[in-house]
Amino acid sequence: MSKPHNLWLFLCISFLLTACSMQTWSHKYEGNSANWQIVLDVVPDKDVGAIFIGKLDQRSTHQIQHVNYEIELKNGGRGGNLKNPEFDHGPIKIFEDIPHSDTYQQEFKDGLYDADIQQFFTSNPVLTITWTDDQGKSHKEVIELILVESK
């Protein structure tokens, strides 16, 4: 084989190995009620294995004065509050987090696919949300998130 053919073969094999080693999985959990939509995206990250991104959107048209939320994941809860949140431009990112142990990070680096992610969480994530509307009335909902997409 000539040198240009060897170089071409080397480049093709290098590209193939690089492409095969790149993780392209992702998972999307979603929960809905008459008032809220919560989305949890689990996406790969080369350094920590995965990033969990939570986004909240209001489905009702009432003005909201205050929101408290807590989402339970396998490796602990994520919570916070929003004062006078503006949902006019779509969902608000309420948290971004990573797996909390080296073992979990390695599992994600190795690639967690459809059955693996369900086993990782062991049960569906759950959002507990309380809010005060513009009339000063308090409300509370518990919303289960269901796996709606795995790639």
Q: Take residue 83 and report the two structure tokens written for it.
A: 């004062």
Report yes or no on whether pTM surpasses 0.75.
yes
Q: Measuring CA to CA, which residue among 134, 138, 133, 142 is closest to residue 69?
A: 142
> In Å, how far from its chain's centre is CA 13?
34
Predicted confidence (pLDDT) at residue 122 exceeds the cutoff of 90:
no
Domains of the chain: 25-150 (2.60.40)
CA–CA separation, 79 vs 74, rounded Å? 14
Other CB atoms within 10 A of residue 89 CB: 6
Read out DSSP for 4-68? Answer: HHHHHHHHHHHHHHHHHHS----EEEEEE-SSEEEEEEEEEETTTEEEEEEEEEE-S-S-EEEEE
Range of lowest pLDDT (20-29, 76-85, 130-139): 20-29
pLDDT of residue 3: 59
Residue-wise pLDDT tens digits, 13-39: 544 444 444 558 899 999 999 999 999
Best CA proximity match to 40, nearest among 141, 111, 127: 127
Predicted confidence band at 120 (pLDDT cuts at 50, 70, 90)?
Answer: confident
